[in-house]
Every structure is written in C-alpha cells, then in structure tokens.
Amino acid sequence: MVVKNVAKSVTEIFVKTNSAKLLLLSDVHFDSAYCERSLLTEVLNEAVQKDAIILFNGDFFDMMQGRNDKRGTKGNIRKEYLGDNYFDLVIEDAFEFLKPYAKNIAIMADGNHETAITKNYESNPLDRLCYLLSREAKSPVMHTGYQSWVILRMAMTSNAYIPFYIKMHHGSGGNARVTKGVIEHIVS
C-alpha cells in the first residue's frame, strides 16, 4: 500500500491488487476511561490479519481532561494519564498501542475533539501521533482534516488502476444522539 497526499483534502491509496479490505473507525476516544480497548484491540488485530486498510474518521482522541477544558471531569481520567503532561502521556500511549497496526493505518482524520485541542491549546495531537507512527513505526499514515476525500486505487493491470472515491466527513450540526460511539441510522 502506498499513501499519497495529492491535494489539501485529497489522499490517494494505491494497492497492488484488484481488491481491498477496509476498516473504517470513528469516535474511538482512545484515552477515555470508557474506551473498550480490548474490543478495539480485537478489531485491529483482525484488520491486520486480513491485511485491511485502516481509516480513522475523527475523534481518535477524547482529550477532554486538560486543565482548562470545560467539558472535562478529572474523575474520568485514566490513571496512566495522571501527570503534568497529560497530552504527552496520551499521545505516547496511543503510539505504543498503535505500533503493531502501523503498517495498515492509512488515514487519521480530525474530529471535533482534535480540532478543539488545536483551537484551545495550539497543538494538533494527530499531527504528533502521525509523525511518530510514520517516523518510528514506518506507517504510511496521512493526517487529514475534518472532511476529505480518499481515492482508493486498485491495480487492474501492472500500470492501470481503477479508482474508488470515499468521502470522509466527521459530521456537522450538533445535538446528535450518540450511543457508545455509534450514531443510529434510520432507513425509511
């Protein structure tokens, strides 16, 4: 798999076969005390076993326990993140957690939690995590914005690729009903 940023909000993923498996995850909230890490590990292990391309569509981080975050409650902080360098501890833990899956991770997109950190603390946690994954774990990962396009190009011949277009958007509006990270979809 080769991942290339071709425009501000367009990423291409090239695969050398004519089929691909994808795992799309959103609202992981990795550092939340409520993140079910054992289930996340199970899903990611299966993705690697099946050689799936992993796409994170926003809110990989929760990061609501920062000193000045009005949404946070210190009672909800995981014990491993107690310290004066909360954000650093979270990013380093996420890197260690994702290392075994690094070669399969193609996209990590901003969600409202990441954009809030960038706005309020002038640092982007996904930039830092993607840097670590690409530099230290040789991941092809690209950090994308809140909304972007992914063009999945699968090889039909040695020099011909068929494109599949994927629109990634973390959501808009607000007041959405959320149930354990899964937005309900009603089909009429």
Q: Specify the higher pLDDT residue, 73 or 181.
A: 73
The per-residue pLDDT for range 28-38, each reduced to its tens digit, is 999 988 899 99
Give the per-residue pLDDT at 65: 65
Q: Read off the pLDDT band of 77 (50, 70, 90).
A: confident
What's the mean pLDDT when you consider all of the chain? 85
pLDDT in tens, 129-155: 999 999 999 999 999 988 889 999 999
Closest CA to 154 of 2, 23, 36, 15: 15
3-state helix, strand, coil in the chain (%, to 5): 30, 30, 40
Which residues neighbour 10 within 8 Å (Cβ) at sequence distance 6 or greater?
Answer: 148, 149, 150, 151
Give the residue from 29, 99, 25 showing the smallest Cα distance to 60: 29
Please report the DSSP string for 84-120 in residue order: TTHHHHHHHHHHHHHGGGGGGEEEEE--HHHHHHHHH
pLDDT band with cut points at 50, 70 and 90 for residue 71: low
More confident of the two residues 22 and 72: 22
Give the model's pLDDT for residue 186.
Answer: 38
Is the entire prediction scored with pTM above 0.75? Answer: yes
